[in-house]
Chain A
Amino acid sequence: MTLKVRIIPCLDVACGRVVKGVNFVDLVDAGDPVQAAIAYDAAGADELTFLDITATSEGRSATFDMIARTAEQCFMPLTVGGGVREVADIRKLLLAGADKVSINTTAVKNPDFVAEASDKFGDQCIVVAIDAKKVSSKGEEDRWEIFTHGGRRETGIDAIEFAQLVVSKGAGEILLTSMDRDGTQVGYNLPLTRAIADAVHVPVIASGGVGNLDHLVEGVTKGGASAVLAASIFHFGTYTIGEAKAHMQAAGIPVRMHT
């Protein structure tokens, strides 16, 4: 009777291989992306997200090939992000088999690109990935700013204002990663997630910091997220998708138990 909360494993890929960064550095090879995607498809994941962290054009073509091979075997939604700079990049990703495309640095540099992309492909296709870090000091009111380039470059842009701006330009969804939490396994940054979810009318995907299944529940109940994304806990087999769903259902969150 109702839309279900999505559980989304995220695969960071470089040159067609899955890697997982801890705080976006010290990358560890966590396997072959197509095999991982097939396993997640069978396990009942609600969506898959590929973030391409490849810096070279050769690596990029390996990624396109990976998406195409995944889309041949997995009949589930795929979001792909990383290195999207122009409308032609989005077209190529969609033709390879992506359903949604995630834009990060380009949206920060030029928010009008979000408008151009959503006019062309529809709002529902355009995800803006926001990497935010707390910049307020202890005792101050919480304030978060946007970081780009895998979290290395600060921009001075307020995260909430930026989220509202890109949604007004046509972003259909926000993929919100807390840079403070990513890879730490101490849980989502809930105040940040709640602040962004309350500020925009589009779905927010919580990301960064999941270490156990209660963290997924909190992302929804306390953070107000429409979907929860995690990488390490699934990649390294700490929990299965099924265990995550059962845990969320037991906490009263509507999830899709059958594929």
Chain B
Amino acid sequence: MADFDRESMLEMFSFEMNQLVDQLEQTIIGSESGFSMEFINEVFRIMHTIKGSAAMMLFDTIATATHAAEDLFYYLREENPEGVDYSELTDYVLACMDFIKDELAKIEQKVPVDGNPAPVVADITGFLQRLKGDETATPAVASAPATAAPSSSTKSSDNPFGKHKYKAKIRFDENAQMENVRAFTIVNNLKDYAMGILHEPEDIITEDSIEAIRKNGFAITFSSDVSYKEMFDILSRSVYIKDIYLEEFTQESFDLDGLHSYFVKMKFDEGALMENVRAYTAVHNIKAYAEYLLHVPEDLVDETNAEVIRKDGLKLDLVTTKGYDELNEMLSQTVYLKELSIEKIKHEISEQEIAPKEMQEVKQEEQKQEVPQETAKPVVAPASTPVPSVPAVQDSQSAMPKKSAAQAVISVNVSKLDQLLKFMGELVIAEAMVTQNPELEGLSLENFNKEARQLKKIINDVQETVMAMRMVSLSNTFFKMNRIVRDMCKALGKEATLEIVGEETEVDKNIMEHIGDPLMHIIRNSLDHGIESPERRRAAGKPEKGNILLEARNVGSEVWVIIEDDGNGLNKDRIMEKAKNNGLLKKPENEYTDKEIFQFIFMPGFSTNEQVTSYSGRGVGMDVVNKNLEFVGGSVVVDSIPSEGSTFILKIPLTLAIIKGMIVHVAGCKYTIPIVSIRDSFRASTDDIFMDPSGNEMITVRGDHYNVVRLNEFFGLQGDVKVIEDGIMMIIENGDDAICLFVDELIGEQAVVRKPIPKYIKQIRGISGCTLLGNGDISLIIDVAGFFDK
């Protein structure tokens, strides 16, 4: 495995695993009350995929844990037992998920993946045993991971090969990448269902085979007890498959093509030695005549298999045009041969195709010395297709509508989207530079202007689409909270439902990443501090089951995420007391408004909980809320009514990259002020201005006092406008603070693409970035928070 590009494989692995785990977790929590058959199948399938991938990447701990869970769901699927405690079952499955998540985190952090799956496995197998104990009548078959069909009496006892012989050709999507790994996964998955798997190219460990697989597809021959339809399903489960051609060898096709199917068993003399090499020679000799050839053991190069052959012999599953006698003669020539048995096999065709007449033929099966009269028959139709081989594309569409629906969505690297956005911004500017080119001035350009408008319209449409592409719905993040509520309720002995509203609201991908954590902390806080125990709720005349509302809605250019609980509310006095003890008060106690007091809970290390529980009390959580929101330019507002509940409102900008800005003129430079921060703008007169004792200018607007900041002085520019009457006053707010900003003139409102200031220039207070205007000029974007820093 060392030859692989393990880094990128790991990345892909953890990406796929995380997706599967998330998907699984959501489905499980959604159906804690009872599992439908469809659901059990889905869990089984996901578990199986996780197990296969983990085993392939040599993460045994994950494979072991999922294997146990897979067994359990296999049992549920096959036996459909009654009276299962689904809540308990959910606990075990979630524990298993958590274990996998921990291990995945270790993989991502590149630390040894060393978790101990034993407790998880013990829980699950224990549960399984109990289930089985209840249902004594059912045979214990659950330990086998395969969908083993009922064992067939029509084949001889030591024939290891399956009833059906298959030949499959799989082609992968053009952009699948690492086809050899994909192929390896398929082979690995098949091992549970099939025997004697042979594939072409033979070497899928090294990357050399990628090219061959891309060109010719990946061909596999194997035998299995699984029916054609099931086998097709099994193969289709793999990802990135473009099409599958699966062909089953049936008696009918044998008859048509004049083929015979044999089961051969060979043993070598005791003193022969190197049985694997002898077996290899025998196989090699016969290969040329075989239409289809499988052998057990599969690997004849590996010397350890010499021992296996010595003991159990070499077994061949063979389809050839040669008659029995011919074959016997050919194989007898093998040196050191001790035993040779050849069985002629008649094949059932897939169950659904079995006609009564053919059923009789099956009985002839074990006639070992059947006269090889068919050898004389010419090969009738070599090109004819064996019976049930449906072109894969059609089949996959009809059999699995889910899969084709999933293909309507592709995953794109975020960096590509970022790049697209960057180009989009440039396109907008380039368009303005062309259509507003100074050289066009004074010309009468009726047609040009018409086409220019059309161009602008198209560019606007493209821009909207580009922005829309970056938007992701909050539903994933929201539904993850279900798990937190469930776990915490169980642990704290509380009862609460999570009501989710407006989860389809979308925000920019970059912002999305920063709101998962704040949400989690606020919900934990609500459950731990807000929602009371059922007894206390009953005493207070509230319904025993608490309610947490998680709502998202669009408000202007912001998205508000509202978390509302009907718990006890925030304890204002306790918060105040704690703030006093921590020396956080900056003005007299009685001057603090409720909102200001509640804001204290977002200070680092602030917790009114005397006891540190496993969920809260360390004072870390709410601090994260503030930090993350500040990072995306959002804010949080808290409100609370004692004994009725608390409301947290997270105000999040829709997008980081494109903002609506007001372009203003100051000392010959253009600055952009985010529209969201502008409360008001007006023309003031010198008389409105008064000085505070330290000489700072102040102004009173509608009864509120504001500090006046002259932007040109703040930035140390040579301002053109010194007289208050000539300029414009703008009230700029940041959270609850506001100042009055004095600028030379307003130019206009425009949507601008925010670009960072080149990193060679160190961070400048008051400036958050820059943007390109339509004429190619650069405008600096004002960082409103910069005016409020102490």
Chains A and B are bound partners? no
